[in-house]
Structure 1
Amino acid sequence: MLFYALILSVSALPSTRLQKIDSFFSLPNDKVMHLSVYTVFGFLLGALPYPSVALGMTGSLLGALDEQSQRLAPGREVSVRDWLADILGISLGLALRRRSR
């Protein structure tokens, strides 16, 4: 949950501050950032002793909460495409964790 708290804290940043972070990592677009961050999150979730389906649904719901919370940040907006990238990342992370066992 500490990693998710980090995700939420970055999501709460105003768009002007977030652009500086995006340029630091030099990723082609924000969907790649969502996919990358949520892949790590999914991998970490996969260490918990719960079925993958439950972890995937939990991760997806947390991704939706993350997107909805962006309404509160200046210059930020909710994006279904970002949420879909989050879900894909969660799924990929869980699959990688399962494969590493």
Structure 2
Amino acid sequence: MAKVSMVQRDIKRNLLFKRYQNRRKKIKSKIKTAKTFNEQLYAQAKLQDLPRNSATVRIRNRCWLTGRSRGYFRMFGLSRHTIREMAHNGLIPGLKKSSW
């Protein structure tokens, strides 16, 4: 089980990302289409004024059940430990735990 503070921090980051997503896209497109270097610098300064946690790269995938960030499977939205337990109990349809 992950620390509650880490999970809450990621929830806060997700909310900030959603709030500033459109602004970031507009500013980034201005940076790419800027005709002069000064326009580009001005747009980059505006981008830096946005909160850091609103950036896409700061979002971490976490298991929705335990909050674990490592060993995350996107297909299920779960960590490897949780998938293993659920596969043993037959809770994930079509998934068997292999053994040899």
Whose helix proportion is higher, 1 or 2?
A: 1
TM-score, length-scaled by structure 1: 0.24
Flag the structure with larger Rg: 2
Asked which structure has the greater RCO (Cα within 8 Å, sep 6+), the reply is 1
TM-score, length-scaled by structure 2: 0.24
